[in-house]
Amino acid sequence: MSYERGPSFEGGVALPWGFLAGAVRAGIRPDVDKLDVGILYSEVQCTAAAVYTSNRVKAAPLVVCQEHLADGRAQAIIANSGCANAATGEQGLADARAMAERTAAKLGIRPRDVLVASTGVIGTFLPMERVRDAVSRIELSPAGGPDFARAIMTTDTRPKCNSGRCGQQGEEYALWAVAKGAGMIHPNMATMLCFIATDAPLAQPYLAACLREAVDVSFNMIDVDGDTSTNDTVIVLANGLAGGEPIDERHPAADAFRSALTDCCVRLAKAIVADAEGATRVIECTVEGAASPEDARRAAREVVRSLAVKTAVYGCDPNWGRILAAVGNSGAEMIEEKAALLLSAPENSAVYLYRHGAPVAFDEAQVRACLAGREVCIRVELGLGEGAATAWGSDITEEYVRLNSAYTT
Amino acid sequence: MSYERGPSFEGGVALPWGFLAGAVRAGIRPDVDKLDVGILYSEVQCTAAAVYTSNRVKAAPLVVCQEHLADGRAQAIIANSGCANAATGEQGLADARAMAERTAAKLGIRPRDVLVASTGVIGTFLPMERVRDAVSRIELSPAGGPDFARAIMTTDTRPKCNSGRCGQQGEEYALWAVAKGAGMIHPNMATMLCFIATDAPLAQPYLAACLREAVDVSFNMIDVDGDTSTNDTVIVLANGLAGGEPIDERHPAADAFRSALTDCCVRLAKAIVADAEGATRVIECTVEGAASPEDARRAAREVVRSLAVKTAVYGCDPNWGRILAAVGNSGAEMIEEKAALLLSAPENSAVYLYRHGAPVAFDEAQVRACLAGREVCIRVELGLGEGAATAWGSDITEEYVRLNSAYTT
C-alpha cells in the first residue's frame, strides 16, 4: 500500500497516463544556454490544488494561479526560469496572463485551465516576444518530463524528480513529481517550484488537504538560507485516467494516496536541500519530546536555519553548543536540565553530546565520523512532552557566498 | 546638551572618575595568545542595570549577574573570552560564582557586588585554576581601559570603545563604553558584551529604563548572522562621583543622559557590525511609513538579516528584488503598490529602484556607486503609516564561512 520509489528519473520515467510535457530554450536570459520554458499538459481536465509562498510580495504568476484555480480544475502548467516576474506590477500581471492565454491557444483549452509559474531574478520583466515564440515551438510528448524538469532549473546543478506508484492491485495510481530549488529556501516555502502529476481520481477537497499536509512536513521543513521567496508554488494535477471513484477521506485508497503524496514531497524536499547552492552536506534535525508539535517544528527549523550550525557542519566541527543555542533561540519551550543532544550519521549509532544540562565527554573521532558524511543527523530530546518534528537544511560554504554575490551580474 | 564623541579610544581615553580597569592573559585557550581576563572596577559602589540575551539557554554568568543585580547595585565586572561558560550545568554555575568570589576577595568588596561575563566557545568548562591565577595577577589602573577592551575580544579584529560627555557646564558627566561582537549577532542581542561606565549619579529605575530604550534601538537592531547567542549582556555602572542629585525622569539632565546613552550604544552597535566576521560593508536599512513601529522594526531587521541581501551587497549587485522579498517576508504589513525602495551611500543622493508596485529604470553606474562604499543605505517606504526604524547588518563573505567552519578547531 505504500509509495514505492520508481526507477530514477534520469533513467527516463514516463509521465502518468494522459500527461505530456516539453520544453525549449526561449533565451529569457540570453547569457544562459539552457531550456527555460516548459509545459506540462494533461489530455483531460484535472482536479488540481496548490500551495503558495507566505511572502507578502507575491509574484504575478501566483496571482494568475489563484484566479485560475478558484474552481479547483486545471489542465496545463506553463513554467519558465530566468525571470521570476515578481515585483513587476500591472505589466507583470498582464505578462503572466498572456503566458496562460498563449498556452491555452496552443493547446486548444481555456486560459483559465492553464496555471503559470516563474522563477529567477526578481524585478525584471519577461521578454514576452521570446516567451510567445517559445510556447509555439514546444513539442509535447509522454517522454518530455526530463526536458520540463531542466527548463525550471536556475542554480540547481541537477533536475529533481521522483515517481512511483501507490494503491493496490487493480486500483493502482502513478505519481510523478518535479521540483527546483537551490537558493532562497526557508521553511514556508522558497524559490522553489514543485509540480506533481498523477492519474489518480481525486475529490478536490481531499486533494487540497493532502497537499497541505504533505507540504507542511516537507517543503515547509527545509532551509537553505533562511530566505522565503516571492514565487514558491507547489501544484498537483490529478487527471483521474487510472479510473475508479474519486478518492476522498472515506475511499479505501485514501491513506495510501495521502502517504504517497507526502513521501514524494519529502523526497523532493530533501533533494532540494542536497542540491542547495554550494552545499556539501544535508543536515537532518529531529526534535522529540517538545511541549507541543509546533515547538518541535520551530526548534528543528531553527537548528537547520542557524548559520552558526551550518558553518560548523561544513567544517566538520563538533561545536554542539551552537545547536543548543539555536534550540534556545527558537522560541520553543526548553529546560536545560531536561534537554539532550545527539549526533549520528545514517547507519551509525548516535553519540550523546549534551545531557542533563551538561556536556557529555565524547569520543572526538566518533563525532567527527558523524560529521564527515553527506548526511549529518542531529537529534534533540527536550523531555517535556510528545511534540516531534524533522527538518532538513544544507550547510553554508564559500561557494554559496560566491554564487549569491554575483547572481544577476 | 548632546553626547559628544570623545577622542578615539585608541588615543587613550581615560575611564570616568573613580573607575579602574586591567587585564591579563590567563591562557583560557592555550592556543590563542591574547589578554583574556579583565576587571572593570569602581572605587565606590554603583547604581547598575543590565540587559541579557533572549536565548532560552542562558550562560552561567548571566544567572549570577541576575542574582547579584537584584538590588540594582554593583561595583565590579569580571569578564573573560575564550570560553562562554554556557551549557555547563551546575559546574558552570559554581565556576561563575567562584569568579565573582575571587574578584571580590581581591578587591575587598562583597561577592554580590561583582558581575560576571564570559564569551567564547559554548559547552566547555572554564580552566578555573588559570582564571583564579589571572584574577590575582590583574593590576588595576585608570589607564587600564584598552587592556580590558582587548581581553573581551574573540574574533573581533579591533577593540570597540567609545567615550564622551553629556550634560551642561557644572553638571557634566563622562561616559565610557566598550563592546565586543563579531559573530552570532542578531536582533535581540548576540555574542556580544557591552560594558558602560559613567560618573553620573543615577536613580536605578531611570537607569534601567534608559538602558532598555538604548538597547532596543542599537544592539537589538543589528545583525551579523541571524544567530542570537547564549551570553549577550549589556551592563551599565554609574558611580555618581560627578556629584549632584541622582538623575531620574524629572532631573534637568534626564534627556541629555538618556540620549547620550542611546547614542553611545548605537555607535558601538554599528562598530560591531563594521567589524563583523569577514564583513566588508555595513548595510543600514531604514523603514519609514510602516503601519506600526513594530512593523518597521521587523521589516528593517529582516532586510539586514537576509542572506540573499547580504550576499548581493557583498557582490555590489543591484539585485533589489531580494530587498523587497525580505520586506515581504518580515511579517510587516505591506501593499506592493504603495511601497518604494531607495538606495544611497552616505553623502550621496538616493536612487529609486522600485516605486508604485513596479521597477524604476535606474542608472546602473549610480546604483553601483551606492553599493561600492563601506556603508550601503537602503530606504524602504511602505506608505501605510508613521512607523519608522533603522537596523544595521554586515554583508556575508567567503571569509565569514571560513572563520565559522573552523572556530573551535
Is the separation of the CB atoms in A221 and A269 below 8 Å?
yes
The Cα–Cα gap between A61 and A53 comes to: 12
Per cent of chain A over pLDDT 90 is 56
Least confidently predicted of A163-177, A393-407, B275-289 = A393-407
Q: Is the distance from CB of A232 to CB of A189 less than 8 angstroms?
A: yes
CA distance A131 to chain B (A): 20
Percent of chain A with pLDDT strictly greater than 70: 92
Best mutation target, A405, A407, A408, A409, to test chain B (most B CBs within 10 A):
A405
- Does the beta carbon of A401 lie under 8 angstroms from any beta carbon of chain B? yes
More confident residue, B105 or B167: B105
Whether A270 and B365 have beta carbons less than 8 Å apart is answered as: no
Measured between beta carbons, the chain B residues lying within 8 angstroms of A314 are 401, 405
Mark residue A26 as left, alpha or beta (left: phi above 0; alpha: psi -120 to 50; beta: remaining): alpha
The reply to whether B191 belongs to the active site is yes
Q: How confident is the model at residue A225 (pLDDT cuts 50, 70, 90)?
A: low
How do strand B375-381 and strand B282-290 relate by DSSP bridges?
parallel
Q: What CA–CA distance (Å, rounded) separates A39 from B290?
A: 40
Beta pairing class for B375-381 and B340-344: antiparallel
- Chain B interface includes A383 (CB < 8 A): no
**What mean pLDDT value characterizes chain B?**
88
b/e burial code for range A70-102 (CB count within 10 A of at least 16 → b): eebbbbbbbbbbbbbbbbbbebbbebbbbbbbb
| Top-confidence range, A186-195, B58-67, B395-404 | B58-67
Inform me whether the C-beta atom of residue A159 falls under 8 Å from chain B C-beta atoms.
no
Between the alpha carbon of residue A388 and those of residues A287, A304, A384, B105, the distances in Å are 5, 15, 11, 49
Q: How far is A341 from chain B (nearest CA, A)?
A: 11
SS3 assignment, position A237: strand
Q: Say if the Cβ atoms of B321 and A225 lie within 8 Å.
A: no
Distance from C-alpha of A15 to C-alpha of A198, rounded to nearest angstrom: 8
d(CA A60, CA A231): 9
Average pLDDT over residues B125-133: 96
Stretch (H or E) spanning A172: strand A171-180
Q: Is the pLDDT of residue A46 over 70?
A: yes
Q: How many CB atoms lie within 10 A of CB A347?
A: 7
Give per-residue pLDDT as tens, B205-242. Answer: 999 999 999 998 998 888 766 666 778 889 999 999 99
Can you count the helices (H) and strands (E) in chain A? Answer: 11, 16
Question: Of residues B191, B198, B262, B390, which has the active-site annotation?
Answer: B191
Mutate to test the interface with B, among A88, A121, A316, A322 (most CBs of B within 10 A): A322
Q: Residue A17 pLDDT more than 90?
A: yes
Residue with the larger pLDDT of the pair B231 and B258: B258
Q: Is residue B122 within 8 Å of residue A328, measured between CB atoms?
A: no
Q: Is B261 within 8 Å of B303 (Cβ atoms)?
A: no
Amino acid (1-letter code) at residue A359 = P
Burial bucket for residue A365 (CB in 10 Å: 0-12, 13-18, 19+):
exposed
Contact (Cβ atoms closer than 8 angstroms) between residue B391 and residue B282: no
- Single-letter code of the amino acid located at B308: A
* A63 chain-B contacts, CB cut-off 8 A: none
Do residues B42 and B75 lie in contact, with contact meaning Cβ atoms separated by under 8 Å?
yes
Q: Do A56 and B401 touch (CB under 8 A)?
A: no
A364 and chain B in contact, CB less than 8 A: no
Interface contact B122-A402, CB threshold 8 A = no
Mutation target to probe the A interface, by most A beta carbons within 10 A, among B121, B188, B280, B319 is B319
Question: Which H, E and C letters describe chain B, residue by residue?
Answer: CCCEECCCHHHCCCCCCCEEEEEECCCCCCCCCCCCEEEEEEEEEEEEEEEECCCCCCCHHHHHHHHHCCCCEEEEEEEEEEECCCCCHHHHHHHHHHHHHHHHHHHCCCHHHEEEEEEEECCCCCCHHHHHHHHHHCCCECCCHHHHHHHCCCCCCCCEEEEEEEEECCEEEEEEEEEECCCCCCCCCCCCEEEEEECCCECHHHHHHHHHHHHHHCHHHEECCCCCCCCCEEEEEECCCCCCCCECCCCCCHHHHHHHHHHHHHHHHHHHHHCCCCCCCEEEEEEEEECCHHHHHHHHHHHHHCHHHHHHHHCCCCCCHHHHHHHHHCCCCCCHHHCEEEEECCCCCCEEEEECCEECCCCHHHHHHHHHCCEEEEEEECCCCCEEEEEEEECCCHHHHHHHCCCCC
Chain B residues whose beta carbon lies within 8 Å of the beta carbon of residue A312: 404-405, 407-408
Which chain A residues contact residue B299 at CB under 8 A? Answer: none
Q: Residue A284: is its pLDDT beyond 70?
A: yes
- Contact (Cβ atoms closer than 8 angstroms) between residue B10 and residue B150: no
Catalytic residue among A88, A103, A191, A198: A191
Is B384 in CB contact (< 8 Å) with chain A?
no
**Chain B neighbors of A401, CB-CB under 8 A:** 311, 314, 396-398, 400-401
Of A315, A369, A360, nearest in space to A342 by CA:
A360
Q: Mean pLDDT lowest for which of A92-101, A163-172, B250-259? A: A163-172
Least confident stretch, A273-277, A346-350, B303-307: A346-350
CA B398 to chain CA centroid, Å, is 24
Compute the nearest-CA separation of B161 from chain A (Å). Answer: 26
Asked whether the beta carbons of residue B321 and residue A230 sit closer than 8 angstroms, the reply is: yes
Residue A187: its pLDDT value, please? 38
pLDDT at residue number A303: 93
Per-residue pLDDT of A245-255, as tens digits, reads 999 999 999 99
pLDDT tens, B154-202?
Answer: 888 888 888 888 887 778 899 999 888 866 544 344 468 999 999 999 9
List the one residue out of B231, B82, B79 whose CA is nearest residue B154.
B82
pLDDT at B403 over 80: no
A25-35 core/surface letters (b: 16 or more CB in 10 A; e: else): bbbbbeeeeeb
Cα B2 versus chain centre, distance: 21
B308 vs A183: CB contact, 8 Å cut-off? Answer: yes
Give the largest Cα separation in chain B, rounded: 69
For position B223, what pLDDT does the model report? Answer: 73
Give the number of other CB atoms < 10 A from CB of residue B141: 12
> What pLDDT sits at residue A226?
62
Residue B239's φ and ψ, nearest 5 degrees, are -90, -10
Instruction: For the beta carbon of residue A289, count every other beta carbon within 10 angstroms.
Output: 18
User: What confidence category does residue B41 fall into, taking pLDDT thresholds of 50, 70 and 90?
Assistant: very high
Q: What is the mean pLDDT of residues B24-52?
A: 94
Which candidate, B207, B211, B214, places its Cα nearest to that of B249?
B207
Please list every residue in chain B whose beta carbon sits closer than 8 Å to the beta carbon of residue A306.
226-227
Instruction: Report the pLDDT value the prediction gives residue A188, as an integer from 0 to 100.
Output: 40
Query: pLDDT higher for B1 or A387?
Result: A387
Terminal C-alpha separation, chain B: 49
With vertex at residue B392, the alpha carbon angle to CA A227 and CA B377, rounded to the nearest 5 degrees, is 95
B356 class by beta-carbon count within 10 Å (0-12 exposed, 13-18 middle, 19+ buried)? middle
- Contact flag B321-A407 (C-beta cutoff 8 Å): no
What pLDDT, on the 0 to 100 scale, is given for residue A6? 42
- Binned at pLDDT 50, 70 and 90, residue A227 comes out as low
Q: What is the mean pLDDT of residues B72-93?
A: 94
What number is the average pLDDT over the span A132-136? Answer: 97
3-state SS class at A271? helix
**Do residues B119 and B151 touch, judged by C-beta distance below 8 A?**
no
pLDDT digits (tens, 9 = 90+) for B294-315: 999 999 999 998 888 888 888 8
Per the CB < 8 A criterion, the answer to whether B37 and B24 are in contact is: yes
Per-residue model confidence (pLDDT) at position A66: 95
Q: Does position A88 have pLDDT exceeding 60, yes or no?
A: yes
Q: Which of B57, B358, B409 sits opposite A89 (nearest CB)?
A: B358
Q: Is B142 on the interface with A (CB under 8 A)?
A: no
CB proximity B325 to A under 8 Å: yes
Q: Is the pLDDT of residue B345 over 70?
A: yes
Chain A contacts in chain B segment 36-65 (CB below 8 A): 54-58
Percent of chain B with pLDDT over 90: 56
Task: Mention every residue, 6+ apart, whose C-beta is less than 8 A from residue B8.
Answer: none
